[in-house]
Every structure is written in structure tokens, then in C-alpha cells.
Amino acid sequence: MPITLVQVDFPHQGPWGAEMAAAFEGLAQSIAQEPGFLFKYWTEDPSQGIAGGVYAFASRAQAEAYLAMHTTRLQGFGVTGIRGLVLDVNEALSRIDGAPVL
């Protein structure tokens, strides 16, 4: 099955770590229900003041639809400086390097 990734990051001033996990648990549960969603790595770097994630979707169309919706949602939270990409996965090379390719 082809996998398409969505990569998102944006300026974030916290919370971080366990506090971030507690604060965004509802959002994580919502993301898990999105059409075509496979998994997400939540990302954070307090030293750079950024947060975001790398999401895997079952199709490019689902990934693109999610990125559009999520960008609008983040903007609704007052987030600015959002960077989002939709990227196809090269499964053959990813398998060589141990990526979880479905």
C-alpha cells in the first residue's frame, strides 16, 4: 500500500513533553479518526520553539485533504507561521532503512 506523509511544523511556546501530551490528548484522538489516517509522530523542539508532526495517510488525496483542514484548524487556534508539506514515500528505499512501511 502506498503511503503519503504530511509534515507540519509551526512556532510553539509550549507546553512540552508530558504537559503537551495532556493538553493535546483530545486533538490526538480527533486526528486518529481522520479518513485514511495511519499514524502520527508528534514532534517538538523547545530550543527552537517549534512543534508539529509527521503523519502517514493511505492516499495522497486523503493527506492533502487533511493538511488543508488541519491548517485551517490551527489558524483557528491563532497559530501562524504554519509550514506543511505532502510527500510521497519511496517504499523500496524506506524498507532498506527500516522504516515502518505498511
Q: Are 84 and 8 in contact (CB under 8 A)?
A: yes
Q: Judge contact between 84 and 75, C-beta under 8 A.
A: no
Mean pLDDT of 18-47: 96
pLDDT digits (tens, 9 = 90+) for 38-83: 999 999 999 999 999 999 999 999 999 999 999 999 999 999 999 9
How far apart (Å, rounded) are the C-alpha atoms in residues 75 and 78? 5
Mean pLDDT of the chain: 95
Rg (CA), the chain: 14
Of all helices (H) and strands (E), which one includes residue 61?
helix 60-76
Domains of the chain are 12-89 (3.30.70.100)
Distance between CA atoms of 41 and 65, rounded to whole angstroms? 19
